[in-house]
């Protein structure tokens, strides 16, 4: 009787988790699709106004800003999805309050420190960088703390299953505000240059971060009543710093192709490639939506094997199917989407097709990264991601000189699939959790 009751409770939890995860994932996906639409419009506007050369400069500077911004939360953004649900589940609200405060302060301290260091280096050695990059990088240093803080706020909101509040301000409001500010600036007579676009991004980031902070604090007062705070920085940072390494390696992995192209190819080629990656984001958003809705649920279901296995099965099947559908649709309409950037951008269609194929193949391996980071395998995940970053950089350096921009796309597709396979194997070895989609394919191959 006790066994039947335990099984019934597990099934009930799984149904509730599936319903909540599916609804949250759909909300996240719809918002990210809307955000991608506005981001696409913003990139088209920027490319049309600035031209290939200036657009390439802006793309390169923004890639570096985003990569550092994601990293300078020191892993505390992802850690919020792990530690806050655990503390709240134990009823330890003092620890939850301490984590919230410590995370915000450490994120600001790290990002402001790196921004100041960057400004000092730019002033001390201005000749190191080409002239078109100097002014945009100065403004990017001001954007950096806002970007990092908003990334931390996103993690806190995700930890509470507030998916819309987590992603709407950074991915929807920020894009809309940036697009409006850039258009207004140019109409007012400002030159259509990369530094003007970065200044518009600064204004948009300030607005989005301020609004998200106000809304999140209001909701947290209800979830965590005011009271004492308890700090356990050593335990938090012991887990979160490897996650920061994962964030840095993941961000680097997502941008290494653009960075290598920035060193080896002219800005116009970078702009051509970056346009394809902006459209390919529609495909990547499928995994992002699933992760945003379920990653924190892995931590909450840690002691319930049936519910945890069910969540892995749900995400694996749904993510693979949705990724394939979105990839086919995106590639089908890509000539029209790329033509909006201007003449010559149709050359990006093969780039987009290769990148999308890599995303589809990687989706078959399931949520290995989320499982490792949420269930205590963050160091192994960091090692795999760093290795994948090194492989991606090496492949880019090998393939870009003879093949140009298509070489970068091939390098990233290969590295993306190999990384996903390694993460899936690690999750299966450590936690005994395998995604049915990949298991079925592997069984068929045998």
The predicted structure's pLDDT at residue 213: 95
- Cβ atoms of residues 372 and 381 within 8 Å: yes
What's the whole-model pTM score? 0.68
- Cβ atoms of residues 300 and 10 within 8 Å: no
d(CA 101, CA 236) in angstroms, rounded, equals 13
The predicted structure's pLDDT at residue 410: 95
Nearest residue to 386 via CA among 281, 247, 271, 262: 247
Neighbours of 128 (CB within 10 A): 10
Cβ contacts of residue 138 below 8 Å, gap of 6+? 119, 122, 195
Per-residue pLDDT of the chain (446 residues; tens, 9 = 90+): 444 433 444 434 444 444 445 555 566 667 666 766 776 777 777 777 777 678 778 888 888 888 888 888 988 998 898 888 888 888 888 999 999 999 999 999 999 999 999 888 888 776 656 677 788 899 999 999 999 999 999 999 988 888 788 888 888 888 889 888 988 998 898 888 888 989 999 999 999 999 999 999 999 887 777 888 889 889 998 888 887 877 777 777 777 888 888 788 887 787 788 778 878 877 876 766 666 555 555 555 455 556 566 666 777 777 788 888 888 998 998 888 877 776 666 778 899 999 999 999 988 887 777 777 666 667 788 788 889 989 999 999 999 999 988 999 999 999 999 998 888 888 777 655 555 555 544 444 44
Neighbours of 274 (CB within 10 A): 28
- Cβ atoms of residues 162 and 224 within 8 Å: no
d(CA 218, CA 220) in angstroms, rounded, equals 6
Question: Residue 439 in 3-state DSSP?
Answer: helix
The predicted structure's pLDDT at residue 186: 87
The predicted structure's pLDDT at residue 29: 60
> What secondary structure does DSSP assign to 164-212, as a single string?
HHHHHIIIIIHHHHHHHHHHHHHHTT----HHHHHHHHHHHHHHHHHHH
> What secondary structure does DSSP assign to 96-164, as a single string?
HHHHHHHHHHHHHHHHHHHHHHHHHHHHH-GGGS-HHHHHHHHHHHHHHHHHHHHHHHHHHHHHTT-HH
Question: Residue 285 in 3-state DSSP?
Answer: helix
d(CA 247, CA 237) in angstroms, rounded, equals 14
Cβ contacts of residue 242 below 8 Å, gap of 6+? 75, 378, 379, 381, 382
- Cβ atoms of residues 61 and 140 within 8 Å: yes
The predicted structure's pLDDT at residue 297: 55
């Amino acid at each position: 009787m006790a066994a039947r009751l335990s099984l019934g409770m597990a099934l009930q939890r799984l149904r509730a988790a599936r319903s909540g995860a599916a609804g949250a994932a759909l909300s996240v996906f719809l918002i990210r699709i809307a955000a991608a639409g506005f981001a696409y419009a913003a990139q088209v506007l920027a490319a049309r106004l600035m031209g290939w050369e200036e657009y390439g400069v802006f793309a390169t500077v923004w890639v570096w800003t985003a990569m550092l911004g994601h990293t300078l939360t020191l892993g505390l953004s992802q850690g919020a999805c792990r530690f806050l649900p655990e503390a709240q589940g134990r009823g330890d609200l003092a620890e939850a309050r301490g984590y919230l405060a410590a995370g915000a302060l450490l994120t600001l301290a790290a990002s402001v420190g790196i921004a100041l260091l960057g400004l000092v280096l730019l002033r001390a050695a201005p000749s190191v960088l080409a002239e078109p990059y100097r002014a945009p990088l100065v403004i990017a240093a001001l954007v950096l703390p806002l970007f990092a803080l908003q990334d931390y706020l996103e993690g806190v909101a995700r930890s509470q299953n507030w998916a819309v509040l987590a992603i709407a301000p950074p991915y929807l409001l920020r894009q809309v505000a940036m697009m409006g500010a850039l258009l207004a600036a140019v109409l007012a007579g400002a030159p259509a240059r990369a530094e003007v676009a970065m200044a518009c991004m600064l204004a948009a980031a300030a607005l989005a971060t301020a609004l998200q902070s106000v809304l999140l604090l209001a909701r947290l007062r209800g979830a965590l009543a005011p009271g004492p705070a308890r700090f356990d920085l050593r335990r938090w940072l012991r887990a979160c710093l490897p996650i920061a390494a994962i964030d840095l390696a993941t961000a680097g992995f997502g941008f290494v192709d653009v960075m290598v192209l920035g060193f080896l190819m002219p800005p116009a080629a970078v702009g051509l490639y970056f346009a394809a990656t902006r459209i390919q984001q529609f495909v990547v958003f499928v995994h992002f939506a699933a992760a945003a809705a379920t990653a924190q649920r892995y931590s909450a279901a840690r002691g319930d094997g049936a519910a945890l296995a069910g969540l892995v099965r749900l995400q694996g099947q749904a993510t693979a199917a949705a990724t394939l559908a979105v990839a086919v649709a995106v590639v089908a309409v890509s000539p029209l989407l790329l033509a909006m950037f201007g003449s010559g951008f149709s050359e990006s269609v093969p780039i987009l097709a290769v990148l999308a194929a890599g995303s589809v193949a990687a989706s078959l391996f399931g949520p290995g990264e989320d499982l490792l980071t949420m269930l205590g395998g963050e160091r192994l995940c960091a090692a795999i991601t760093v290795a994948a970053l090194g492989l991606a950089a090496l492949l880019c350096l090998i393939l870009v000189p003879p093949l140009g921009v298509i070489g970068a796309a091939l390098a990233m597709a290969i590295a993306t699939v190999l990384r996903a396979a390694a993460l899936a194997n690690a999750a299966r070895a450590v936690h005994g959790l395998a995604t049915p989609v990949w298991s079925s394919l592997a069984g068929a191959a045998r």
